[in-house]
Amino acid sequence: MGPGPKSPEAGISVPIHRRSGLADSNGIFNVDKARVDVIMTVNKHRRNMMNYLSTQGSLPEGFEIKPLLALPVNLLQTLTSTNIKRQSVPLTDENNDELWDGHISIGSNAQEFIIDFDTGSSDLWVPSSNCTDSSCSSKKKYDSSASSSSEAQSGTFSIQYGDGSTASGPIFADSVTVAGISVTGQHLAAVTNISDSVAQTSFDGILGMGYSTLSNLGAPTFFETAVKQGVVSSPEFSFFLSPNGSELYIGGTNSQLYTGDIEFHDVNTSPGYWKISDGSISVPSNASVVSGIDTIVDSGTTLIYGPPDAVKTLWASIPGASAYDAEPGFYMYPCNQTLGVSFSWGGKNWNIPDEHMSTGLTDGSGQNCVGAIVGQNIFGSSSPTWLVGDTFMKGVYSVFNLGNNQLGFAQLA
C-alpha cells in the first residue's frame, strides 16, 4: 500500500452514462427491481467462478460455485412491464443511478454499440446479426460478414441466466475501438439470444475489465490487449462516477477529477477480480465494526454485498436501523439518520456519502430509507469477501493499475 503521484495527462476520456436504479420515479424502493438485481449479481459471479474453474482447475479457498438462482415467474412478467423497462436515465436525475455504459465500435466498418464497462467480468459480448428473436429487437447487432477484419474462432461462448435461458454464440476476433483506442484481434462473442432481463437494459453488450482468468472466452480482455499492443500510454484505467460528467479514463488518470495522492493497494488477482485485502468498515460509534475483509470492486454492481452476519452487525450499529421485511438481506433506517459508513484498507477512511447509501424510500411517508449494503453470500458461505459496487465508487476516484496489479482511490476534487 502507498500513495502514488498524479499521472500525466496522457489517457483518453470515455463519457459514460448511468441507467435506471432500484427506485421508481416517485423515489420509492422497488422490491421487484431489487430482487432482479440480487439474482443477476449472484448468477454473474457464479458464471465467473465456473469460468475460473475451467481455466485454472480449482477455486481459491473460500470461493464456491453458488447454485443458479432462478427468477420467479412473477418477476419474469414484471421484466416486460413498465416497472422495469428499457430506459436511459439523464445524468441530471440524481440518486437514480445503477450501472454505467458508453460507446464502442467493432470491426473495419466501425459497428457501434452501447456497452456496460464492467470491472467484475472479463468477456466482451454483443448481440449477433443472427439474433432474430424479440429479445434482440431493441439491440444493435454485430454482423461479422460486414467487417473485413473479422475472423471466426473455434469454440462457443455460453452463459446461463436466472430466467432459464442461455445466451450463446460463435466467437470472433476483430478490431475494437473505445474512444479512439483501437486494438486488433480482440476476442468477442456474438450471441444469438439474450435473456428478457438483459433485453430490458439500455446497453447492447458488456465489455469486461477484470482479469482474463475469469473469461468464458479464455482470451485477454480488451484492456489487456490494449496494454500488450502498446496503444495506451499507461497500463491503468480510472472511473469517475457522478450525477454529471461521469467517465472511464483509459491509459492513466484525469487529475482534474481528484485531489491529493492516490492510495494504492496490492491486488490479489486470484480468482481474477480487482480484489484487495485487510479491509475494515467503520461507523461513528465504532471505528472497526467489521474487519478482516476482502473487497472486490465491481463497476458492474449497483450495491454493496457482504456476508449476512457481518452486514447484520454493521446495520446493528446504525441507530434506528432494522431488517427490511419485504426483501431478505436488505435493511431500512430513518432517512434523517447520519450513517457515516466508511471503508479502510490500512490508510485513509473512505467515506460513503449518506446520500449514496439510500436505494429508495420504504413508502410515501418519506421517513425510512432502504440501505444499499445488503447481506448476501455472493462468493461462498465461508468467504469474507465483500462485493463493492458503485454505491462506494461514486464517493471516490477509482484507479485500476494493471501494470502493478494495484487498485487505488483518491479524494474527489
Residues with catalytic function: 118, 298
> Reduced to 3 states, what is the DSSP secondary structure of residue 166?
strand
Give, in order, the Cα–Cα distances in Å from 48 to each of 55, 118, 228.
11, 12, 23
CA–CA separation, 50 vs 65, rounded Å? Answer: 7
Residues with Cβ within 8 Å of 151's Cβ and at least 6 positions away in sequence, in order, are: 172, 173, 174, 185
CA–CA separation, 227 vs 225, rounded Å? Answer: 5
E strands present in 226-272: 236-240, 247-250, 258-266
Burial readout 28-62 (b: 16 or more C-beta within 10 A, e: otherwise): ebbbbbbbbbbbbbbbbbbbbbbbbeeeeeebbee
User: Is there a contact between 148 and 172 (Cβ–Cβ < 8 Å)?
Assistant: no
* Spatial strand order in the sheet of 358-361: 322-323, 331-334, 368-371, 358-361
CA–CA separation, 382 vs 364, rounded Å? Answer: 39
Phi first, then psi: give them for residue 318, nearest 5 degrees: -100, 115
CA–CA separation, 214 vs 47, rounded Å? Answer: 9
